């Protein structure tokens, strides 16, 4: 699950996890809530970006569907970022009382700066 992800600053580029599985079983993520963050440098660094399935403020939109979780990155969002390396982590929670939780994304992120022309 931990792999390197390149994000081109200033572009529309989602972070997507497909074939989400819990205990080896493909899970229909429809209706699950999602929260995600990018932390600068490492998993204990400061939070530099956030997503939610019910976003507020500057949070990006997170969505969950049939075996897939997606974090939307808009050009405006990534253009404002000043960090270069980080770790993105996303957790999904099953709807209903006592819903299961699953770590669905954990990737090292490199932000490729916008070209100045």
Whether 38 maps to a domain, the answer reads yes
- CA–CA distance, 117 with 113 (Å, rounded to integer): 12
- pTM (predicted TM-score): 0.89
Per the structure, the count of domains in the chain is 1
Note down the domain range covering 74. 4-112
In a domain, 117, yes or no: no
What per-residue confidence (pLDDT) applies to 83?
Answer: 94
Identify the CATH number of the domain in which residue 34 sits: 2.60.40.10
The answer to whether position 81 is within a domain reads yes
Please check whether residue 58 lies inside any domain of the structure.
Answer: yes
By three-state DSSP, how is residue 45 classified?
Answer: coil
Helix (H, G, I), strand (E, B) or coil at 76: helix
Instruction: Give me the pLDDT at residue 2, please.
Output: 58
Give average pLDDT by consecutive 10-residue segment, the chain, 117 residues. 83 90 86 96 94 94 91 94 95 86 92 84
Residue 15 located in a structural domain: yes
Position 96 scores a pLDDT of: 84
In a domain, 75, yes or no: yes
């Amino acid at each position: 699950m931990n792999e390197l992800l390149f994000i081109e600053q200033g572009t529309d580029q989602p972070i997507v996890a497909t074939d989400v599985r819990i205990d080896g079983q493909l899970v229909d993520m429809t209706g699950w809530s999602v929260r995600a963050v990018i932390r600068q440098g490492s998993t204990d660094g400061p939070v530099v970006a956030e997503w939610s399935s019910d976003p507020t403020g500057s949070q990006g939109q997170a969505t969950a569907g049939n075996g897939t979780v997606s974090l939307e990155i808009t050009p405006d969002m990534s253009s404002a970022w000043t960090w270069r390396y980080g770790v993105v982590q996303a957790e999904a929670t099953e709807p209903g009382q006592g819903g299961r939780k699953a770590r669905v994304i954990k990737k090292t992120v490199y932000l490729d700066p916008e070209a100045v022309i």
